Amino acid sequence: MSSVSPFHGLSAFPPTPADINGRVDTEALCRLLEPLCDAGVASIGLLGSTGIYSYLTREERLRAVKAAVECVKGRIPIVVGVGDLRTDHAQGLARDAEAAGADALLLAPVSYTPLTEEEAYQHFLAVTKAVTLPLCIYNNPGTTHFTFSRKLLQRLSEIETIRAVKMPLPAGGDVRGELAALHEKTGLAIGYSGDWGAAEALLSGADAWYSVVGGLLPRTALALTKAAIAGDGNEARRLDGLLEPLWKMFKEFGSIRVVYTLVAHLLLAQAELPRPLLPLGPTLRQRVLDVTEPLTALERQSLL
């Protein structure tokens, strides 16, 4: 396992190529992971939301982890999503990931019945007791409909192996203020998802960018990350501007639909959205390809 911290810098979240029956294409997955390793991202976020973790069986999730570990060979830390409705199932997924060679875990409080804060706390505590790997809290209210209070994050941060939190962009846009409040109450590494706000989040002092676009355009995302962490606002915003057309696609169609359009095009491999999600139609698909072609060309040429 890698000794590099997986919770700082650019954490790139690739899609998980699979067929319509949810069978993971491990060869195509490896082809997605190689550019991430070559670019030198800080960590790989395997089986995140874009990685369709919630739509895959335990067996397929384990196949994906084993294939990723074999492909990456310790070059980059791998953070594996282990969210599930049931606590015992999440524990099993965490044990699978640890046994397969993952470096860290990402856990979302997936639920059907809305969770109380105590239920969420006990869920996380149980998963941390099942394994020894460091864990990142996945605060993703858009999919889980559960929002972590600062009080709960403080309580969870007292669990030894919980080291980080993946936050959504704050509704009011005050990342700097939120970071100050969280750092005051917790010792967690604080990173953000929501790619269109990543530049400002990193410039405001965030520890990590948990990036959807980093899973397909790692060099572009890494250049933005490095510029922002170095405090080079002009360069970070310039790169963010290049990505703005893609951010608009993400907001209009949902990042998962855009990403799976791109992976099918770039890899020429099967990368089906799990039903009931439907792929974009031909006209919208072409819009996405037209918008991203300059970015993919730049990525290929390593001009950044």
Catalytic site positions: 138, 166
Tokens of 69: 């570990």
* Angle in degrees, CA 192, 104, 87, rounded to 5: 90
**Residue 238: how many CB atoms within 10 A of its CB?**
14
Q: How far apart are CA 189 and CA 218, in angstroms?
A: 21
Q: How far apart are CA 126 and CA 137, in angstroms?
A: 13
| Contact yes or no for 231/257 (Cβ under 8 A) | no
Residue 199: name the closest of 213, 186, 215 by CA.
213
Interior/surface letters 140-167, b for 16+ CB within 10 angstroms, e for the rest:
beeebebebeeebbbbbbebeebbbbbb
3-state SS, residue 208: strand
Measured between alpha carbons, how far is residue 114 from residues 106, 182, 236 in Å?
A: 20, 24, 38
